[in-house]
Structure 1
Amino acid sequence: MEIQQLEAQARPATGKGAARKLRARGRIPAVCYRKGKEAFPLSVDEKKLERVLHTAAGQNVLIQLDLQGPEATRKTVILKDIQRHPLAGILHVDFLEVLLDEAIVVEVPLRLVGEPVEALRAGGLVQQLRRSVEIKCLPTRIPDHLTVDVSSLKLGDSLHVEDVKVDGEILILTDPKEPIVVISAPEQEKAEVAEAPAEGAEEAGTSAQGAASGAREKKED
């Protein structure tokens, strides 16, 4: 995985007021931390951060954070959390410092490839039930995504986490029996749904007939 460069500046002032002032200047408040160490407050340029996020790796992008100022230093980090506002955009970012020779746990998206032609011709519907899995690997081995080939699936077939192919340097932590995709037959499902009201209506009709008969008997008495 290619490592992206991103400059950062120390952030001496914290709190909502200081964060608003930073964002007004086009900078995003952030923190960088590592397990067992105190979080370090900093800020990054909003536009440069957006460019880093729009690489193929997405949120799992590996970043070399260049801290400017008297305490200039470099840290290799990944994005651990991003707080967004629907209108204001990115509000805050958490960076996690990583070691290139130490495995980490991340969530990686699943991408369906291929087309189950036979199933689609038979009216089948491709339903993706899971869109990501948790993996453990070295930071430089984090894939942009994992592919799931559905081209050979037929009606009623399904694929599970255990069917995802990865190399020996990646360990999938998600339950291997978790379903990822299933090919269902919507026409059959509609027929089953249609039968249920019909049975209910028949029962209601029988009840109504019984009630009417009882009413006539009572009137004759």
Structure 2
Amino acid sequence: MLQVNIDSAVRTVFGKGPMRQLRMKDMTPANVYSGGTEPVPLQFETANLFKSLLFIHGRNAVITLKVDGDSKGERHVLVQEIQKDPITGSILHIDFLEVDLNKPLNFTVPVEYVGTAKGVDLGGELQVFKEAVSLRGCPLDIPDLIQADITSLEQGGPGLTYADLPVPTNVEMLEKPESVCVAVH
């Protein structure tokens, strides 16, 4: 899984007016939620935050927040929600979820089909039924992407199932193994 480091600081201002002033100083407010404890209010430099979020857009990523002024110092988080301005598209607020890197979680991982199927070369049509797979495992064990080779698929053949996908041994697949992901008709 992808890992990114982002610098932040503990936020000391709250409310509508102070948040606007914070954003005018090119800072973005955020909260870090952790199971059952009080949320930690943070602030980020908007340019650095936007660049980091753009890099991980649409991918599973563990973010290491280096928090200035926090007793923990570093927190491992996942992006939970990004609030944007509906007109300008600028980031208004972000919610992060703190995770334990040694506890398994559920993730959705995209599947990339590599190669050209034999059946397609012979005039068949490739039909993709599933473009992602649900996996459970420790965050750093989850792959960023699963690549499946489809060159051996023939027209009218059984197709590629979830059981045929190359999943790491320490990660559990949550899908039914007999479900067909891609086939040639």
Q: Same fold (TM over 0.5)?
A: yes
Larger Rg: 1
- Identity across the alignment (%): 31
Distance verdict in 2 for CA 1:57–1:102, change over 3 Å:
farther
**1:170 matched to which residue of 2?**
171
Counterpart amino acid of residue 171 in structure 1: E
Q: Report if aligned partners of 2:136, 2:171 keep a CA contact under 8 Å in 1.
A: yes
Q: How does 1:84-103 map to 2 (within 5 A)?
A: 84=84, 85=86, 87-103=88-104
Give 1:169 shift.
0.8
Q: How does 1:69-148 map to 2 (within 5 A)?
A: 69=69, 73-84=73-84, 85=86, 87-116=88-117, 118-148=118-148
Distance verdict in 2 for CA 1:105–1:86, change over 3 Å:
farther
**1:212 matched to which residue of 2?**
none
Q: How does 1:1-221 map to 2 (within 5 A)?
A: 1=1, 3-14=3-14, 17-55=17-55, 59-69=59-69, 73-84=73-84, 85=86, 87-116=88-117, 118-157=118-157, 158-184=159-185
Relative contact order higher in (CA < 8 Å, ≥ 6 apart) = 2
Give 1:105 shift.
1.8
- TM-score, normalised to structure 2's length? 0.80
Distance verdict in 2 for CA 1:70–1:4, change over 3 Å:
closer
Give 1:152 shift.
0.8
After superposition, the C-alpha distances for 1:193-215 in whole angstroms (9 at most, x for unaligned) are xxxxxxxxxxxxxxxxxxxxxxx
Q: Report if aligned partners of 1:58, 1:144 keep a CA contact under 8 Å in 2.
A: no
Give 1:139 shift.
2.0
Give 1:26 shift.
2.9
Q: What RMSD in Å do the two structures reach over aligned CA positions?
A: 2.8
- TM-score, normalised to structure 1's length? 0.69
C-alpha distance in 2 between matches for 1:87 and 1:129: 36
Greater strand proportion: 2
Structure 2 stretches lacking a partner, 5+ long: none
SS of the residue 1:35 aligns to:
coil
SS of the residue 1:136 aligns to:
strand
Greater helix proportion: 1
